[in-house]
Structure 1
């Protein structure tokens, strides 16, 4: 089983380098350059250059920097502040209102940034102390933040969905649309958990009267009007795809245009803001593109050694039922994503998972959508989930043990959702199928 030795060397080197704390793209470059030299010699670097060139000029990857720029503009222009106040008003006079507001905001922030860790840290630092001062339960607040932020890879526009679609040759539009219904289901389950918890223990939320006093001023009609520009951005992205008017790349461009118009409409646009957004977008996009280019070569090297085919032959030779193989393939990201970055796992897993998905006859949209959900499950699984440590570090009033306890109901919600989508695949594939 030479292919197994090759895989162990490749992945052992990658994980070992990442464990030193160096950037993911540097780890990939070191492994790729070293493996190319060992297996092919200096002539192999010609393949390296061609692989990087092909990856960097793929039209599908244009979507990545555009979506990043859209999120940066919406963040830095302060447009989301307007959305917060509007959602706060629209939720109405209900007990535990701010739990719902934070769930919605965490979902929106997660969709815009694509990073559960970033959203957890941001809300833990800014929102959680404020909620605690108003009488809200820190544990429940932490649970809500973790649940909303962990929808980042699922709710469109999801950068991780775009990366998987590009690497696995799966419809990016299909993956983006497939995340809508699962995202809604998980959000609804979290909302149901919030209200059932409040019903069982009313002390975790302030009284209706106190909650109403905390509400921002303004009317419901005014809140709806203020949200229209933001909804315009959503339409410019997902609406254009769902109506068949634009491809994901084109809709990403219209999304950037929509974000600029929204910033102008809210009177938050400035040269400095646009400059900062562009600078940040270029830096992040360049890093992601280098990682993707390195991953493409990594995939070629794995195939060149025969490891990909060897793994497929071994897996199919076990004679396992497809559902058993599916469960095994889904447990792996839960475990590994406790320790490594989600993008890093995707770049390592896609070259190996893709032939297995085809060999087992799994629907690719269904399979990769559930994988996206499991990526975040690893990040919120004690005792090593890095999203948990990000939240505890950002929220000085919370201990690590409190954050761990807050993660348990979120884990159950996500795992229940995965079971539901596994038992009923149409939950995932229905919406992409009618587009």
Structure 2
């Protein structure tokens, strides 16, 4: 026994947090960092016989029923990645772009929103947009920053647009109805998407060189092609309606709706005559790899949070924050600042697992709605997807962008979109009823 408990919870907290940061600086993955620190404090604080404390936390996490929906939505995204559904959806939206300055960028944002409503996965969307939309905008002479920003910011909408994986994990961690979170996210997600659209239209109309309209011969689409384009939207619309309609209508749970969505996407691929065993095999393999990563990060974070709570850490943090001589909204702003800082170097899953078990009870004690806080959290995580130096969106896009586009170019292009996200976050903090209106 190391007798760490003798130092008290305050110094124990400093040592625990310091150990995590010290190991992260060495480049050790988050799952190993949290796991090692959790084991060190388990045996050091509680003694040699404390191993069941760790295993109980791991079992409690991996047996959570809500997690079953996650691989289903990831599989939906994997199937969409490998089918031609997303490509045809993007091509179909050309019907609406016309000769509008910035029209292709606006078209890209609407496609991104729709893809997010089908699967709720982010990385795949950014890669798809980088393959489909980025070359198209660059070919038309779009400003490089606008083209890059639209692909990354549009692809990151999946953190908010139901069925968002971020909201599912939040609901599981905060013991909040996932269906209510989905309802609450609709209006903020639309506001954010329309904010991007407004920014693009304003800039491109003030300076059409930033987003030139399509050439007249490309914009004047024959009637037959327009009809075919509209037809190609029917299957994706049906899949999205089946998933979200069954949830909002109370017909199916989140998990059941996810399974229906997978069935719907596979059926759509079969109807389009694109189905193959190889496509299914690669999609399942990608799903297993992604889920494995999420589960291991979750196990590490759940373990360390569980050990810290048993040490009395949750009570210590709660008493410290609630004991602050300041207004409740300032405490919420402090939490947002902590999440923003963590989002610059940690994965959103790790952030959720590490912070939500501590933050959510405090939010409830302050008298705020945990559903509302979930919307704030999802917007915050969308900011983290774009934020330098480790914003995943930038690295996803870099993998498919032309060689002349550097990571520096991508991060510079994302600055206006990060500012828009922060403005929407401030709006949701100032007016909670915007997100809670549909919940009732």
Scaled by the length of structure 1, what TM-score is found? Answer: 0.91
Work out the CA distance in 2 between the residues paired with 1:285 and 1:398: 30
Residue 313 of structure 1 corresponds to 319
Aligned runs of 1:369-384 on 2, under 5 Å? 369-382=375-388
Match of 1:418 among 422, 425, 434: 425
Residue 3 of structure 2 corresponds to none
User: Higher mean Cα deviation, 8-17 or 194-203?
Assistant: 8-17
User: Higher mean Cα deviation, 254-263 or 95-104?
Assistant: 95-104
Change in Cα spacing, 1:84 to 1:217, as seen in structure 2 (3 Å) is: farther
Match of 1:248 among 244, 254, 259: 254
Judge conservation of contact 1:3–1:311 (CA < 8 Å) in 2: no
Judge conservation of contact 2:99–2:213 (CA < 8 Å) in 1: no
> Which string of whole-angstrom CA distances, capped at 9 and with x for unpartnered residues, describes residues 366-396 of structure 1?
0111111012223434566453455456533
> Which string of whole-angstrom CA distances, capped at 9 and with x for unpartnered residues, describes residues 236-273 of structure 1?
21111111111111111111111111111111111111
Residue 191 of structure 1 corresponds to 197
Work out the CA distance in 1 between the residues paired with 2:213 and 2:346: 42
> Which string of whole-angstrom CA distances, capped at 9 and with x for unpartnered residues, describes residues 92-129 of structure 1?
44232211122223334556675655544553455323
Work out the CA distance in 1 between the residues paired with 2:30 and 2:120: 17
Please list every run of at least 4 consecutive aligned residues from structure 1 whose deviation after the TM superposition is greater than 6 angstroms: 214-217
Residue 133 of structure 2 corresponds to 127
- Mapped pair 1:26 → 2:21: no
- Mapped pair 1:101 → 2:125: no
Change in Cα spacing, 1:17 to 1:259, as seen in structure 2 (3 Å) is: farther
Work out the CA distance in 1 between the residues paired with 2:314 and 2:269: 47
Judge conservation of contact 2:98–2:213 (CA < 8 Å) in 1: no
Judge conservation of contact 1:380–1:407 (CA < 8 Å) in 2: yes
Work out the CA distance in 1 between the residues paired with 2:213 and 2:59: 60
Residue 407 of structure 1 corresponds to 414
Match of 2:437 among 417, 424, 430: 430
Aligned runs of 1:211-230 on 2, under 5 Å? 212-213=218-219, 218-230=224-236
Work out the CA distance in 2 between the residues paired with 1:210 and 1:44: 72
Aligned runs of 1:291-370 on 2, under 5 Å? 291-370=297-376
Judge conservation of contact 1:85–1:216 (CA < 8 Å) in 2: no
Judge conservation of contact 1:107–1:151 (CA < 8 Å) in 2: yes
SS of aligned partner of 2:421: helix
SS of aligned partner of 2:159: coil
Structure 1: stretches of 5+ with no match in the other structure: none
User: Higher mean Cα deviation, 157-166 or 3-12?
Assistant: 3-12
Change in Cα spacing, 1:245 to 1:126, as seen in structure 2 (3 Å) is: closer
Structure 2: stretches of 5+ with no match in the other structure: 1-6
Work out the CA distance in 1 between the residues paired with 2:121 and 2:26: 22
